[in-house]
Amino acid sequence: MLNKELEKALNEQILKEAEASFSYLSMAVWCEFKGLEGSARFFYRQSDEEKLHMMKLIGYMLEMDTKPIVPSIQVMTNDYTSVQSIFEKTLTQEQSVTQSIHNLITLANKDNDYATQNFLQWYVSEQREEESMIRKILDKIKLIGEGPMTLYYIDKEMERINQEILSQEGEAAV
């Protein structure tokens, strides 16, 4: 079993992952409403991925004979001003999750909980990849700049990124 402090922190992480999933879902809806299909697909996939992260935490806690708490989620905003503002919020959100994972590892280290330390290493790698990808997307958005065709080019770039991710996922499955 996990110590109570780590159990509480893991349950808080479940909440963070659920909130991230619903935040990305909200972003996907905004993008689709604006006709940004490539961006919408990207955020729908991100939403699914965050739900998977939450489910991995739940599974781990059950495996460790600890009862996870399924969180309730508040209403998410879907009133964004631009695609760039969405990705800036995304980066901030991912950085917050990364810090939370680091805090969990610190707690596991303090308790000499090697199983939890090992389990959380997957999240460390995942967060590094997520933050890097979002920073690259923000760089592309800045390169594209502002103008009447901006949204079109951003959405085309997001569709290219979607195809790249799907290709990588296909290679990983083999």
- For 36-49, how does the pLDDT look when each residue is reduced to its tens digit (9 = 90+)? 999 999 999 999 99
Separation between Cα atoms, residue 97 and residue 13, nearest integer Å = 8
**170 has a pLDDT exceeding 90:** no
Q: What is the CATH number of domain 4-173?
A: 1.20.1260.10
Separation between Cα atoms, residue 68 and residue 7, nearest integer Å = 8
Inter-residue contact 117 to 109 (CB < 8 Å): yes
Please give the pLDDT value at position 25: 96
Q: What is the SS3 string spanning 108-122? A: HHHCCCHHHHHHHHH
**171 has a pLDDT exceeding 90:** no
Q: Count CA within 13 A, CB hemisphere, residue 167.
A: 6
For all residues of the chain together, what is the average pLDDT? 92
Predicted confidence band of residue 87 (pLDDT cuts 50, 70, 90):
very high
Number of neighbours of residue 105 by Cβ within 10 angstroms: 17
- Among 1-5, 93-97, 136-140, the range with the most confident prediction by mean pLDDT is 93-97
The one-letter amino acid at 2: L
Predicted confidence band of residue 153 (pLDDT cuts 50, 70, 90):
confident
- For 104-145, how does the pLDDT look when each residue is reduced to its tens digit (9 = 90+)? 999 999 999 999 999 999 999 999 999 999 999 999 888 888
pTM score of the predicted model = 0.89
